[in-house]
Structure formats: C-alpha cells, structure tokens
Chain A
Amino acid sequence: MSIATRLGGHRSGVIPGFGITLGTTLLWLGLVVLIPLAALFVKTAELSFDQFVAVITSRRALHAFALSFGLSLAAAFANLVFGSIVVWALVRYRFPGRRIFDAIVDIPFALPTAVAGIALTTLYADSGWIGGLLAPLGIRIAFTPLGIFVALVFIGLPFVVRTVQPVLEDLDEELEEASASLGAGRWMTVRRVVLPSVVPALLTGFTLAFARAVGEYGSVIFIAGNLPNYSEIAPLLIVIRLQEFHYADATAIAVVMLVASLVVLFLINALQHWSELRTGRRP
C-alpha cells in the first residue's frame, strides 16, 4: 500500500511523485529544521529542573525577558495605532506620492537588520538628526530602552499595514452605504460597521509584529546599549552565554523564547482561522 493511500488518499490517483516528494520534503525539513531545534531541547535537558529554573529566573534573565517581551508588546501596540492610521490613509485617501508611500511600507521587511540598526543608531544618537533635537530636552533615545523601542517599531511597521490592507480594500462599500442610509453618522459607521470587519486582521498584524519584535537582534543591538539588567535584550543574553560556552544556559533561555514563539504562532493561526470565518478571506 503506498504511503499516499495509507495517509488518507490523495487528490488524484494519477498524479505521480507523491511518495518521493513528500519523503524528500520530510527529510529536508527534519534535517534542516526539526533536528537542529530538537538539539535545543536535548541540550536544555542536560540541566536539572532546578538548574533550568535558576537560569531562567536569574535576575539578568528576568530583566532580559521583561525587556524583550515588554518592549515588543509596546512596539506592536504602537504599530497597531500608527499602522491603522497609515493603512486608512493609503486605502481610503488620494494624496500626492501615495503610491510611493505604499511601496516604502515594505522597506523594514526588505532592509537588512544590520543596516537598519546602524542607521537608527546614528539618527537617534545625541549627535544624530533626531537625537540631537531631543537631547537638549533631556530625552535620550539611543543606548536606552527607548532606542530599543524605536527599533522594534521600525521592524514591525509593515505587519499591521500589510495584514489589514487587503481586508480594508475588499470591504463591501454597500455596508457603509447601508449604514449611512440608516442615518448613522460617519464615526458611528466606522466604529460599528468597518472596525468589526477589520479587527481580526488588526489582531493578526499585531501578533505578527509582536512575534517578530521579540526575536529581533540585528536592528536592536546597535541602538540598545546592551547594559545587563537595563538595556539587554534576551537574544543578546543568549549570544553572551554562548560565547562563555555556557551552552545549556543559552539553550534554556532560548527554549523559553522558542516556546513563547510557538505559542504566538499558534495564536496567529487561530486568529487567521477566525478571520476567515468572519470575513471569508485570509488576512
């Protein structure tokens, strides 16, 4: 009995190559992704449970987690707010240069993180164009958690916009017309008719931005300052432990981050599923 039929049949009995392609895919996936990730857990298992807990609840680790997760949440939220404004302007209004602005939204996706890192650091340092404006006011951005926040907002920017954009574009015009014809004011129409249709996409975008921000390294380490217990992000702590050859400690922290990422991944899939039910399309 072929693999295919054992796995529940396939779409067409006639198309060849199922076995070999599925087999190759699984092999590749296993070698490149799954086994290496398994190594992570195997290494962590070398620690006893108490050691594991000690590592991930050490003061430094806790600070790093709080910083990474906390700032990622804040940045994702900032992107939620400003991303909504941007996507509304891009979809609903016409203004000169709109198409260019639309295209550049993808730059944080496409730009290598190291490039973003040094550019942002230069901009927000005390001698930079923006940092220089704020320094006299006593506001320092580069080398503080605020700098990390700025970098995380940068890299999360496209997520909310690109996730919400197709939903907003496809929104049935008649819904707003119906609402207006029933006497609702513009704000009420937006709040009660447009927004609910867009909420799943907003949440998905928020979660994607958050997930990306938590693991971000290159954009952040230049601007962060990297002081333990203050401006040290979790990925950096992993690298430091690695350089000290404390592999197990590094993996312990990595496991926490990985589990968090997987939870978020699961959440994103669930949200996308919900959104499909709501609006009949994938965000």
Chain B
Amino acid sequence: MTALLVTAVDENASLAPPNGGAAATRPAIRRTGRRRADARSDPAWVRWLVTSLAVIFLGLFIVLPLICVFNQAFSKGIEAYVAALRDPDTLSAIRLTLIVAAISVTSNAVFGVIGAWAIGKFDFRGKNLLITLIEIPFSVSPVIAGLVFVLLFGLQGYFGSWLVAHDIKIIFALPGIALATIFVTFPFVVRELIPLMQQQGTEEEEAALSLGASGLKTFLRVTLPNVKWALLYGILLCNARAMGEFGAVSVVSGHVRGETNTMPLQIESLYDSYQFAAAFAVASLLALLALVTLVLKVILEDRLVEE
C-alpha cells in the first residue's frame, strides 16, 4: 500500500510549508488536529480549578493578612505612623530586640560552627541521638521554653533566692529574655551547617594539615569559607526568629513598657491598650523584616545550591 504516503490534504487546514520555495513540489502536509495532550499533563478544567483554589487559598491566608498589617499601620496617616515609631517606649523596645537578637545570633552561630564541626567531620556512636537532642527546641512550645527559665531563675525558682541574695536579675530582665531567645533559636545555625560539613568531607582539611597548617588555621581558612553561605543562611533564619519571638519572651519578661518589652511584646502591649494603629505600626516593621528575610533567603538559597 504505497498509498501510505497519503497526505490528507485538508481544505481548511493547509499548512504553509517551511521553505516557501519548495512549496510547489512538496505536497501539503496536514498538521493533525490531535490534542496536544502530554503524557503528564492534566485536563484543562483540572488545571483551572487547582490553580484557582491554590491562588485563592494563598491570597486569603497570606496576602490578606500582610495587606492588613500595612493597611492598619497607616490607617491614621503617615504622621501618626512615624510618631508611633518614635515613641520612646517603642524605641527602647526596638533597641532591646536588636540587642537580644545580636546576643542570640552570635551565641548560636558560634555554637553552630563548633557543633557542626564535631558532628559533621567525625563519626561517633550516639551522633544521631545528639542531633535529635539539639533539635528539641524546635518541637517545644515557646511557652514551655520560657517556663523552664522561670523555673530555674524566677523568684520562686531553684536559683531564685541565690540570685536575689547576689542582686542579679535574670527573669524580668535582659538576661532572661536573651536566654529564652537563645533556647528557642538554638538549632537554626547548626542544622544548616551539619549536612554541608558532612557532605564536604574531610579531604580539604586533611590536605591543609598535610601542608603544615595548624588546626585552627585549617578551620579558619579552609572549612569556614566552604560553608559561608550556609552559615549566613542559618544566621538569617536565626535572626528572623530571634527578633520575632513572642511566647518564650512573654513568659520571662516583666512586660514593663520601656524596659523589658521587646518589639513583639510592645505590639501586644499597644494592642491590648487599644492603640491599634500604633501596634500595627510596630508590626509593620517586623513584617518588613520578614519580607527582607525572605528575599535574602531566596538569594542565599541560590548560593547554597552552588556550594
């Protein structure tokens, strides 16, 4: 059946051949009217439905609250917004938040590097258990995180009387807030570094040592640069959580405006006293922080992939 070369010339759908010149000699080839259905694509109505549902869901649960924050923050006008941020109690809350974040981020970054070194470059029994223990703060309610420090250092806590005797304030003061924040953000840096250090292995360090470098030098010049993006990533996430922590800090703080309020607590304080616009003004700062964190996160993730 040489008529296999049946080229069905369809009156309606003649396709312009690719080379204009050859048009005369080549028979018109019909582009078949088949569905362009891929073996892996869903029917059109499914695509529409699922996409719409996804967009509506995300819009409702994420976009709307964000818009609400900024909408409420500026509801009394720009001047009121700026005035709210310049309020002395709010300023001191911002200062306190920054200090606490600096302390916890530094502490957990140092710990993270040390811990990741021990866990990532060596094998030992109980390693997995150690990793699980380190990740405990992630699964503990922030309220419990605050509670445990009150248990230890509160007035009626185990060390309470000793602290009073030496006139040291932990609970209801900066040290308590810092401790609670350190607890809550404990695993952030180390869990970013461990898989990377493990994956990178020990060859480069061994090479450096064989060339005569000391342990510390090797660490600073070989190991650290190799993990710099993961370190930054961990610090970024740690900072975002540290600045935004509410539950744990709420328990250990004295809620004294101007003294022991971090920004989230100040937000609560303002909200509870019906100063809604001011509360949202402070909230808008933290929301901006969240957005900036996300942007940086995306950028760093690209770097991380290269690493």
Residues of A with Cβ closer than 8 Å to B? 4, 7-12, 14-18, 21-22, 24-26, 28-29, 32-37, 39-40, 43, 82, 85-86, 88-90, 92-93, 95, 101, 103-108, 110-120, 122-123, 128-130, 153-154, 157, 173, 176-177, 180-181, 186, 190, 211, 214-218, 222, 235-236, 238-239, 242, 245, 247, 250-251, 254, 257-258, 261-262, 264-265, 269
Looking at chain A's contact residues, is the secondary structure mostly helix, strand, loop, or mixed?
helix
Q: Tell me the bound Cα distance from A32 to B298 in angstroms.
A: 31
Q: Which of the 9-residue segments B12-20, B23-31, B81-89, B244-252 touches chain A?
A: B244-252
Contact A25 B247 (CB under 8 A): no
Can you list 25 A-B pairs, Cβ within 8 angstroms, ordered by A?
A7-B126, A11-B202, A15-B206, A17-B215, A21-B117, A22-B122, A32-B182, A86-B54, A112-B244, A112-B263, A114-B286, A116-B65, A119-B280, A123-B68, A130-B64, A176-B40, A180-B39, A211-B139, A214-B141, A218-B142, A222-B268, A235-B142, A254-B143, A264-B139, A265-B132
> Could you tell me the distance between the alpha carbons of A122 and B66 in the complex, rounded to whole angstroms?
11
- 8 closest A-B pairs by beta carbon, nearest first, are A215-B141, A112-B244, A218-B246, A217-B247, A16-B215, A89-B54, A36-B148, A21-B118
Q: Which of B108-130 contact A (CB under 8 A)?
A: 111, 114-115, 117-119, 121-126, 130
Check if B186 sits within 8 Å of A33, measured CB to CB.
yes
Which residue on chain A has the smallest CB distance to residue B245? A112
Flag if B57 contacts A86 (CB, 8 Å).
yes
Closest to A250 in B: B147
Contact between B141 and A257 (Cβ–Cβ < 8 Å)? yes
Interface hit among B1-9, B43-51, B161-169, B227-235: B43-51
For residue B133, CB closer than 8 A to chain A, the reply is yes
Q: Does B149 contact A (CB under 8 A)?
A: yes
Q: How many A-B residue pairs have CB under 8 A?
A: 293
Known: A36-B149, A95-B51, A217-B250. A258 touches B144 (CB 8 A): yes
Residues of A within 8 A of B43 (CB): 186
Is chain B's binding surface mostly helix, strand, loop or mixed? helix
**0 or 1 for each of B156-186: is its CB under 8 Å from A? (1 = yes):** 1110000000000000000000010011001
**Interface set of B (CB-CB < 8 Å, partner A):** 39-40, 42-43, 46-47, 50-51, 53-55, 57-58, 60-66, 68-69, 72, 111, 114-115, 117-119, 121-126, 130, 132-137, 139-144, 147-152, 154, 156-158, 179, 182-183, 186, 202, 205-206, 209, 215, 219, 240, 243-247, 250-251, 263-265, 267-268, 271, 276, 279-280, 283, 286-287, 289-291, 293-294, 297-298
